[in-house]
Structure 1
Amino acid sequence: MEIKNSVMDEFRLIRRLIASSKSSYPDSKGFIKVPPGDDACLLSTIKRPVITTDTQREGVHFNRKWLTPEEIGLKAVTVTLSDLAASYARPVSLFINMGLPLSFSSEEAEDIYRGVGIGLQKYGCTLGGGNLSDSDHLSLDLFAIGEGHDFIFPLRSLAKPGDGLFCTGPLGLARAGLEALQQNHPHDQNLISFFKSPVARFDASEILANHKVLCVIDISDGLKGDSMHIAQASGVTIELAIDQKDIDPQLISFCSERGIPAQEFAIASGEDYELLFSCPPETFRNIKKEIPKAYPVGKCLPFTGKHMIAPPSALSSFQHGKK
């Protein structure tokens, strides 16, 4: 059934979407005082509100050939809340404006919200509200509110010369999954799952906060791109280097089959949503005990006149699933 352009059908669909998200009210944390259904959402007082926004556009950030509506909804929630993880904030509420093509069925819209609901439950967040409108392409605009850490708010501008640069988990698997889809290699399902179903690293975020790590960013634009954000904001030069032993065996196999250097591939990849952070090497040694898969990816140097020193590569930068 298609979404009709009428107020009654829009309201009926909104009720069904809220039900599909399986959000419960009052929420267990007591943040939502007035749930979706009124003109606005009433939240209880949040001591340190942290706010982030994200946009997911068909043809730019995702392709419906490769993601089901449910996967689109879940991934949209994950990548939005990942910014809160990088900010040491716990999720409170999420708001979604969704633009739907006229050919889009209400069942497909409900499937998106079902994916949203899976993400909300996974990360302990609630649906605060949203809006529906017609659109030429499927689009989701998301607005998330979190509650910040008691005494730390990490910034990409706080890397210092002498710090090491570290990552909380494997890089390159999401890009490998995307390329497997682009090249029609459905047998690479495990790699494809890293592209379809990233994870917001709230577990690692809590550990980094406990160790008072002050410079953190989530890796959406790729190690090279997000390291550049840190280098420019902090006024340092970052030298990137990944040891072969720290590259996931799945990626080594993938790259070997295609004659691509795995280190270059990992550096140029994106949408991993691991946390990238800088800290003194002695601090990292303690962090490593709690995040065993964390490893060094570079070091911060006094500014040398350019912000980035990286291995030369013929690989193009990561593009967010356009084709």
Structure 2
Amino acid sequence: MTNRDLSRSDGATLADLGEFGVIDRVVGGVTTGEPVMIGPGDDAAVLAVPTGAVACSTDALVEGVHFRKDWSTAAEIGRKAIAVNVADIEAMGATPIGVTVALSAPADTPVAWLDEFAEGVRTECATAGVHLVGGDTTSGPVISIAVTALGDLVGREPVTRAGARPGQVVAVTGRLGWAAAGLRTLSRGFRSPRAVVDMQRCPQVPYGAGRVAAEAGASSMIDISDGLLADLGHVARASGVSFDIDTSTLEIAEPLQAVAAATGGDPLAFVLTGGEDHALAATFDTAPAGWTVIGRVGEAASDGPLVTVDGAEFEGNAGFDHFGAAR
């Protein structure tokens, strides 16, 4: 019996497949085209990049830290693994072209879970416009996923965190606070509002917006993974500037208000400090269509906060830090 003959319902586990069977289950049937010269199956993939400039980023997702199997389906976990990584490529102003996926999982993980995970990976790759070109598998005590994404800068200079200039505007595209509201909802044992729960399970990355920003002259850019204030703080430090956010420009959608009312939270805090939405923030002389101006860039004060809210220092945690207090 072949690996493909093992169905989703017969109770088969990854141990029944073996390492190469697991690999085949994920990449079998994957189709490639430009810019992929060599796809899965060799020691490394080869992608043709005429400009010679490639953006590369790697993210790891660990069970119990970035996702829970009782909260998310395997397909949602697969989609999230791709989305959060490709967002980093978008934030450099590059065009995403390929990803590799390394999967570690317990040997008794059901084959059905793997098949659904692979389906989610392929679905999000198609949405993001990238090719799955390889990866690795190994056994481990919990499920962990490491994705490396590559992007073609198409002859443009990369948009880094270090280019913001006083007098410019800071603008965002994508949703803010929805994933944080979803996390609050799931943590309290609820499954609705469904819209915010879905955003926690898999972010809606504004694919293509990074290229638009680069073409519009973005001087700096970042994806919002740890929280708007925390991530703008990274840009402020790299650029030697300060930011002031005007809260009157921020959308606080009804689902965020509903979660805050039900759980005793602050809907504005979701927007300012909630991570995992993977929206994009960038600085411009003039923001392009599709981007919302939320504040301005100023000179950095030697003894003042790097990011202020309505002209004042924000009281509370600015965002998430895996290894310590929120930044």
TM-score after normalising by structure 1: 0.87
**Equivalent position to 1:43, from 16, 26, 47:** 47
Secondary structure of the equivalent of 1:202? coil
Task: Please state whether the residue corresponding to 1:88 is helix, strand or coil.
Answer: coil
Counting only pairs closer than 5 Å after superposition, residues 159-198 of structure 1 correspond to structure 2 as 159-198=164-203
CA contact (8 A) 1:172 1:267 kept: yes
Residue of structure 1 in register with 2:300 after alignment: 303
Q: Do the aligned residues in 1 keep the contact of 2:228 with 2:319 (CA within 8 Å)?
A: no
Q: How many aligned positions are there?
A: 305
> Which residue number corresponds to residue 18 of structure 1?
27
Matched with 1:242 is 247
Q: Deviations over 1:130-152 (max 9, x none)?
A: 11101111011111111114223
Q: Which moved more, 1:196-205 or 1:253-262?
A: 253-262
Cα distance between partner residues in 2 of 1:149 and 1:228: 28
Asked whether the 8 Å contact 1:98–1:139 carries over to 2, the reply is yes
* Structure 1 match to 2:57: 52
Measured in 1, the distance between the counterparts of 2:171 and 2:212 equals 14
Shift of 1:278: 1.3
Instruction: Give 3-state SS (helix, strand or coil) of 1:56's partner.
Output: strand
Q: 1:43 to 1:171 in 2, by over 3 A?
A: closer
Q: Quick one: which amino acid aligns to residue 226 of structure 2?
A: D
- Aligned with 2:18 (options 4, 9, 12): 9
Coordinate RMSD, CA, aligned = 2.1
Pairing 1:1-323 to 2, within 5 Å after superposition:
1-4=12-15, 9-19=18-28, 22-25=29-32, 27=33, 29=34, 31-47=35-51, 48-243=53-248, 246-280=251-285, 283-284=286-287, 287=288, 290-291=289-290, 294-305=291-302, 306=304, 307-310=306-309, 311-314=313-316, 317-318=319-320
Structure 1 residues without counterparts, runs of 5 or longer: none
What TM-score, normalized to structure 2?
Answer: 0.86
Q: Identity over aligned residues, as a percent?
A: 27
In structure 2, the CA distance between the partners of 1:203 and 1:32, relative to structure 1 (3 Å rule), is closer
1:264·1:315 contact (CA, 8 Å) conserved in 2? no
With over 3 angstroms needed to count, the CA separation of the structure-2 counterparts of 1:210 and 1:41, relative to structure 1, is: closer
1:317 shift after superposition? 3.4
Moved over 6 A (4+): none
- 1:70 deviates by 0.9
Q: Which structure 2 residue ranges, 5 or more long, are not aligned?
A: 1-11, 323-327
Paired residues of 2:15 and 2:108 also in contact (CA < 8 A): no
- 1:185-236 deviation line (CA, Å, top 9, x unaligned): 2131111111112122223223212211121111001101101100100111
